[in-house]
Amino acid sequence: MPPRQGFTSTLAFLRKRSRTGLRRSSTSVVTALQMTVCAVGAYAFAEQVLGHNGPLFAATSSMISLGFSRDPRIRRVLEVAIGCTLGISIGDLLLTFFGTGLWQAAVVLFISILLARFLDSGTIFTTQLGLQSLLVVLLPAPEGGPFTRSVDAIVGGIFALVVTMLLPRDPRGEPKTNVRGLLGELSGILRESAAALRQSDATLAWHALIRARNCQAQLDGLTGSMKAAQEVARISPAYRRHRDELGTLRTAVESIDLAIRNSRVFSRRLTSAINHAALSDEAIESLGRSVEDTADAVDVLSRALSARDAAERRSNLRQARDDLAAVATDLHPETMGISRLEGEGLVLLLRPLVVDLLEATGLSHEDAADYLPRL
């Protein structure tokens, strides 16, 4: 590579990394402030109120417990806080029997790891318990006695829990972003299926199937963010008012999960139908229109479930419900001009997908299914 070209590539790489770093830093200001307040507050409390000299473990325990996650979960904070505190306590206890030194450190670390695995299966818990007990044995004992550090660790863990409860980020943010991305994928899958129908392109239908299968990671991430959000809403006084909204969103996510699973089945069957040239022109047109209309309704549903404003959410939910109901009422092979078995099978597979989406708008299964014409 010529020197000038290499220099240009290096500059481009540095600019890209700088932009990424600045963006990451700008979105972490609130979290960094929380961690700073938590660590300094725990240190100051242990020093000024409890009279401990240099309570380093109060600050480190609080920072490790709080962690650098966007929405700390109470289980995670408790797991790390207890791991830190128990590790320091075990280290202090064994220190009184064995003293300090390398072989003592090895014994303490070995016992701490086995105890951690006995108490909990979490890797974070094991790591923190072992690390803290090891540091206790290796570092000089404080002036107030060995168990002063155990008290400092408890103070740090309590401060982390208080910050988690009182100063979390809006728990709705991440789930709403995730559900918008997931419904965007579902809309894309349906549009790709409609295009495959109209172009009689089995490869395009297969791509839709692969895309639907690849949604599982997004579903798993959305499920995790929903659990974390509901947890924050339960423990945080500032966000308890959002518990009902998050509960409604979680119910919608369960229906969306089923809709995506049904989209996989539909795409797979569509691939076979196209390969066997099993659909008439009238069937292709009517079925393609229904799939396209369903995709349009999914876009409206995405705007509804990701909206922050309650009035906007209700308006879009109502529109999505009406649009999906209009699709559902036509999903009968005779109405759509479909007479061959393969086309009828596709209609039968599209029906439960539309019902799932109707349920995501807030309808019960019975009310959603009532929109379908009887076969």
pLDDT for 79:
65
- The pLDDT tens digits for 27-74 are 667 777 878 888 888 888 888 888 888 787 788 778 777 765 544 456
Residue 287 has pLDDT above 60, yes or no: yes
Name the residue among 56, 29, 33 with its Cα closest to residue 44. Answer: 56
Amino acid at 88: I
Tokens of 199: 């172009």
CA dihedral 68, 72, 75, 80 (to 10 degrees): 20
Q: How far is CA 196 from the centre of its chain?
A: 32
Phi (first) and psi of residue 90, to 5 degrees: -65, -45
What number is the average pLDDT over the span 175-192?
Answer: 90
- The pLDDT tens digits for 291-335 are 999 999 999 999 988 888 888 888 998 999 999 999 999 888 888
- The pLDDT tens digits for 81-94 are 676 667 777 777 77
Rounded CA separation 349/271 (Å): 13
Amino acid at 122: G
Name the DSSP class of 1.
-
pLDDT for 168:
62
